[in-house]
Amino acid sequence: MVTDQTTPAPATTPAPTDGAANRRSLAGAAVQLGTEVSINFGSSLAGLVIPVVGSFVVVAVRQLVMVVAVLPFYRPKRAELTWRRLWPAVALGVVLAIMNVTFYESVHLLGLGVAATIEFLGPLAIALASSRRVLDVICALAAGAGVVLLIGPGASDAEGIDPWGVAFALTAAAAWAGYILLTRRVAVGLPGLEGLTVASIVSLALLVPFAVATFDPAVIDWAVVGLLLGVGVLSSALPYSLDTWILRRISPRIYAIVTSFGPVIAAVFGWLVLSETFSPTEAIAILIVCGAAGTALATQRSRPKSQLEQTAEGMA
């Protein structure tokens, strides 16, 4: 008989060995690294199409692709549609809409490499929020100094950094922090892709009115359609579907460690796809942020897991 993942295990179920737990964590980290490449490649494609159709249309298409991809795997039952059960997924949908729109606006105004580096302050803050170590304080200050160096005078061209772009990137950073916390809660509390489906529907419903208001049919051709679909698959359907699987296998801290590679990956795709160039100051600033994050996160120590936690992980 096949049982659901949420079915309690018998009392005699053995806890996974350290080797099995390490393999699960390694697999989760490897898949997440792949999603970082996918997301940033998709973001570089978005950078090509945002000037044509606008951020709201791009994000709405992303969420539409997401809904089409995950809805067939989750058919909600009326009895299960309770606020107490679904509110984390609803909140995740709101955060998704805010995070994606503000990030794409910052990409349009700042460029992918710079926007991704500032946005990374969100997951870094989550990773360091509960720390008491002096090294973490130093790394946090170094990351902040890197961002100041990135957006300060002389970091870009003669016109300087667009302040609205920085504001959008910081908003995206805060939303990303909320996304990490809510995604883990949704992944643990709701089976399969149920939470992600609800979040995608909520996000799409919020975005459609703005997308319709800013949509210009005259600019649509097959090249634009292809770019929009590519953004939807690479930046939403694939990575977000895998995030719930990943966060069942690794902690938010490990998630943040892998995410620390994101700004560098974004800068590479910004250079390859969007022909972005970086001054020596900007390149150094991006490396400072990534280096500070990597140092702080890689030297963290997780507390030993209880027998109950190990058994619960083995059931995921």
| Direct distance between the N- and C-terminal alpha carbons of the chain, in angstroms, rounded to an integer | 18
Which residue type occupies 180? Answer: I
**Distance from C-alpha of 230 to C-alpha of 225, rounded to nearest angstrom:** 8
**Distance from C-alpha of 44 to C-alpha of 42, rounded to nearest angstrom:** 5
| H helical segments located in 154-250 | 163-189, 194-214, 222-232, 238-247
Instruction: Please report the pLDDT score of residue 202 as a whole number.
Output: 92
- The domain segmentation of the chain, as residue ranges, is 18-315
Buried b / exposed e along 115-134 (16+ C-beta atoms within 10 A): bbbbbbbbbbbbbbeeeeee
- List pLDDT tens digits, range 245-282: 787 777 766 776 787 788 889 999 999 999 998 888 88
Instruction: Please report the pLDDT score of residue 252 as a whole number.
Output: 64
Instruction: Please report the pLDDT score of residue 169 as a whole number.
Output: 94
Low-confidence ranges of the chain (pLDDT < 50): 1-15, 158, 304-316
Helix (H) or strand (E) holding 298: helix 280-298
Instruction: Please report the pLDDT score of residue 136 as a whole number.
Output: 78
**Distance from C-alpha of 247 to C-alpha of 66, rounded to nearest angstrom:** 19
- List pLDDT tens digits, range 16-60: 556 676 777 777 788 888 898 999 999 999 999 999 999 999 999
Instruction: Please report the pLDDT score of residue 310 as a whole number.
Output: 45
Contact 25, 249 (CB under 8 A): yes
Residue 232 in tokens: 């939807």
Q: Which residue has the tokens 């020596």?
A: 280
Instruction: Please report the pLDDT score of residue 17 as a whole number.
Output: 56
